[in-house]
Structure 1
Amino acid sequence: MDEQLEARLRVALDRQEIEHVLKLYCRAIDRCDLDLLKTIYHPDGTDDHGSFSGNAMEFAETIIPSLREGILDGMHTVTHCTIDVEGDFATSESYYWAYQQAPGGEEAVTAFFGPDYAAKARAEGTIDGKHDYYCGGRYIDLFERRAGQWKILRRKITNEWNDIRPSTRITDAGHVAHYNLPGRRDRQDPVYLNRLPDRVPA
């Protein structure tokens, strides 16, 4: 194999490993997995997340309890990434899409969505029901490879659009109810139980 092709393959593998880290971040947030979230970053990594800016380990310790207290469930997805690798460093721009469902009630709605939306929901008679929050933006990351592992050294997020509305999710009626199979926010979620057998059939 010539050196140029080998270098291109190395960059392709690096990008694949970095994308895997980006996807694990989504799992960590949606499953509220604190231990997994901490593995995404280097110990001296930072995260500028709007409501928090500082050490990434402290961010993890802050965001997971916040999600457990203020959000009923949610899903994040990374849609596409642009990754530039230079030796043991890489920059990454990843577009994301997220959905979260928040509980109803005056205090919860005001805390999460602000007084204007709470006033609107109160006037419309929807404040006590659940509320859906959709948003999209980008993760702008600096990755570093240490001891052969790519992790985030610096993260900055943007949140560029949102849509907030009373929830219309149906979970307990009609044919839809049969497909209401929500994930869990702990290590009893099916993804953690999905393991290869000791002996893979030939």
Structure 2
Amino acid sequence: MGIREAGLQEIAAREALRRLVTAYSRAVDRRDFKLLRSLYHDEAYEEHGDMFVGGPDDYMAFVEKALSNYAATAHYVVNTSFEVDGDRAEGEVYKINYHRTHGPDAHEVITGSRSLDRYRRDGGEWRFLGRSITLDWSTRRVVDADAYKDFAAGSPPGQPGPDDLSYRALTLFGRHG
């Protein structure tokens, strides 16, 4: 394999990994647990400090229950660093995460975190093999309900699940496993 071909394979691997970590955000925020589960190898594990440590099937149950506490979430991938070694890779993914609770006394929790990920490629497809989450900062504030009425000229609000505008406006999204 020539240097140019090796460079192109490295670029392709990094792009596939970037797509994997952004698919995680979409799956969580849209509550698409079928998509979320498809991103993990069966023997993968998740570590979220004292909140959760375990395999992907238990993690799906944990995430579904945890997300039921929130009217909306948004997980933004900000920076990514990947190191690729053949069919294995590691990554440090910086994220800003937004969580809004339900009800008239709703509050917003906004965090900056990093996922320290391990990946494996099987059959040309990259998936999570292990993820450890570290929290860098957090803030909590009361929801300003009027801000949601005044912003973006009446754009429809994002929603968890298949009623989100993305499922109607984008025909290629939502097609998976």
Whether the TM-score (by the shorter chain) exceeds 0.5 is: yes
2:47 matched residue in structure 1? 48
Encode CA deviations 1:14-70: one digit per residue, 9 max, x unaligned: 0000100000000011111110110111111100023110102210122113202x1
1:145 matched residue in structure 2? 121
Conserved 8 A contact 2:88-2:121: yes
Change (3 A) 1:180 1:6: same
Q: Determine helix, strand or coil for the equivalent of 1:186.
A: coil
2:175 matched residue in structure 1? none
1:158 to 129, 134, 147: 134
CA deviation after TM superposition for structure 1 residue 165, in Å:
1.2
Change (3 A) 1:14 1:177: closer
CA deviation after TM superposition for structure 1 residue 102, in Å:
1.2
Which has the larger Rg?
A: 1
1:34 matched residue in structure 2? 33
Query: What one-letter code is carried by the residue in structure 2 that aligns with 1:59?
Result: Y
Q: Number of matched residues?
A: 170
Q: Which stretches in structure 2 are left out of the alignment for 5+ residues?
A: 173-177
TM-score norm. by structure 1 comes to 0.78
Cα RMSD between the aligned structures?
A: 1.8
Choose between structure 1 and 2: higher strand proportion.
2
1:97 matched residue in structure 2? 96
Q: 1 CA distance for matches of 2:101 and 2:16?
A: 33
Instruction: Among all aligned residue pairs of Structure 1 and Structure 2, give the percentage whose two residues are the same amino acid.
Output: 28
Q: Which stretches in structure 1 are left out of the alignment for 5+ residues?
A: 105-127, 197-202
Change (3 A) 1:190 1:103: closer
| Structure 2 counterparts to residues 80-95 of structure 1, below 5 A | 80-95=79-94
